[in-house]
Amino acid sequence: MSAKSLSAGSAPPGPVPEGSLRVYSMRFCPYAQRTLLVLMAKGIRHEVININLKSKPEWFFKKNPLGLVPVLENSQGQLIRESVITCEYLDEAYPGKKLLPDDPYEKACQKMIFELFSNVPSLMVSSFKLQQNKEDCSGIKEELKKEFNKLEEVLTKKRTTFFGGNSVSMIDYLIWPWFERLELMELNEWATQTAKLKLWIAAMKEDPAVKALLMDVKHYQNFLRLYLQNSLEACDYGL
Amino acid sequence: MSGDATRTLRKGSCPPGPVPEGLIRVYSMRFCPYSHRTRLVLKAKGIRHEVININLRSKPDWYYTKHPFGQIPVLENSQCQLIYESVITCEYLDDTYPGRKLFPCDTYERARQKMLLELFCKILDYQNTTFFGGDHITMIDYLFWPWFERLDVYGVADCVDHTPMLRLWIAAMKRDPTVCALLTDKHIFLGFLNLYFQNSPNAFDFGLIC
């Protein structure tokens, strides 16, 4: 996972060995982090190839015509893209701890909660960009607070620590990467009004998969600064 | 005549009673492509259901207890469980009810259908068999169908002129018993659209006899 990224001009990797699984990723990408969390949580053996998103290898478009990470590739050469789809695929294809509930209604509930979260990523990006340009982002932050309150309501109604019950499950992993980056976005002050979310964040930080991938906020800050400047070295910051 | 040919419930209407045991209810609107997906799956799987049409320009106050923003479709079962978002309702029905499975059994094939759904707008590059999932109709075909049924009405039928595979797919879909059973006449659609763009609350009941 600490491997240098592959850039334009690099040789394509060979086929995925039998019994293994490969994920095309980028160390700072929250979407790819979802897939890595699920791989960790289920103890699935895998190899990681990091992609330089500022200088994508030509061969990568054969893995995903959209050129985005994460992408899963198995030893049969099957490719799965879109972070949520990769996570569901892993839960279905691999044994061990089931992250999605078997009960159809409970499964549907997790997906409906996920819909409630859907505005958060773009609002966070907008907020950060305004912040970087020293523009007023109070409007966006108010919008974000509203979105967080929806999630707070869910936890209040359910009266459980996690979004799927009393232990961590798929929905928690799918939304976690953005909460890990909150400090970066200077959004910590909202936490005082969302008591249940605060407890959830603390509980998530104790989860082994989350802990294994947890990154220092300074690293994210430096990566993001370089990334927004379109630096070719952004994706390998800290290596 | 389709099983959903009833007048919409509007503001001021009484809330419906609980859903009887053995039945599932869908809150819908006859011309909405999203609730059309749910109705296609209910029909294809032979699920006993009742339809309550909602007047989207004059929503009943009680409807917000079914969906926080008053959207359709929403499924309600006899245990008072509510499920919304069209794709989530379709997956829930496929998971819950026995009989014909619309999503494929193979994990990779299921993932592939979900990827196809993401690329709804870029479908042309991905069709290499009669139906989108292979040689017979599966979930992905029903999820796409409502928009193609409306192509003719919206006057954009020309966009499949350069896509013979897609035209063949449309023809094949029109031969499917489930699609046929729910097919809405072009003139009824046009009548609805005409009233809808005039902001008429009567749009949603256009074409009903009673």
Determine if residue B137 is left, alpha or beta; phi over 0 gives left, psi from -120 to 50 gives alpha, anything else beta.
Answer: beta
Tokens of B136: 């017979």
- Chain B hits for A107, Cβ within 8 Å: 91-92, 95
**Pairwise CA distance, residues A160 & A169, whole Å:** 12
Given CB atoms, is B74 within the 8 Å cutoff of chain A? no
∠ CA A84-A68-A39 to the nearest 5 degrees? 45
What DSSP string runs through B95-124?
Answer: HHS-SS-SS-SSHHHHHHHHHHHHTGGGGG
Q: Measure the CA–CA gap between B87 and B110, rounded to whole angstroms.
A: 14
- How many helices, marked H, and strands, marked E, lie in chain B? 7, 4
Query: ipTM, 2 decimals?
Result: 0.87
pLDDT in tens, A25-40: 999 999 999 999 999 9
Q: Which of B107, B115, B118 is facing A93, going by the closest CB pair?
A: B107
Per-residue pLDDT of A69-102, as tens digits, reads 999 999 999 999 999 999 999 999 999 899 999 9
pLDDT at A56: 97
The DSSP string of A176-235 is HHHHHTTGGGT-GGGGGG-HHHHHHHHHHHTSHHHHHH---HHHHHHHHHHHHTT-TTGG
Min Cα separation A104/chain B (Å): 6
Is A109 a catalytic site residue? no
Residue B85 at interface with chain A, using a CB cutoff of 8 Å? yes
Tokens, residue B94: 């496929």
- Sort out which chain B residues have CB atoms less than 8 A from A92's CB and list them: 107, 110
Among residues A69, A46, A22, A98, which one has the least CA distance to residue A212? A46
Contacts of B112 in chain A (CB under 8 A): 80
The CA-atom distances, in angstroms, between B82 and each of A114, A154, A167, B61, B156 are 15, 15, 23, 17, 35
Closest chain A residue to the Cα of B110, Cα to Cα: A89
Query: For residue A9, which phi and psi values (nearest 5 degrees)?
Result: 95, -10
CA-to-CA distance for A80 and A86, rounded, in angstroms? 6
In this complex, the residue of B89, B95, B115 whose CB is nearest that of residue A82 is: B115
Residues of chain A predicted below pLDDT 50:
1
Predicted TM-score (pTM) above 0.80:
yes
**Does A81 sit within 8 Å of B88, measured CB to CB?**
no
Interface touch A112/B83, C-beta < 8 Å: yes
Confidence of residue B158 (pLDDT cuts 50, 70, 90): low
pLDDT of residue B186: 86
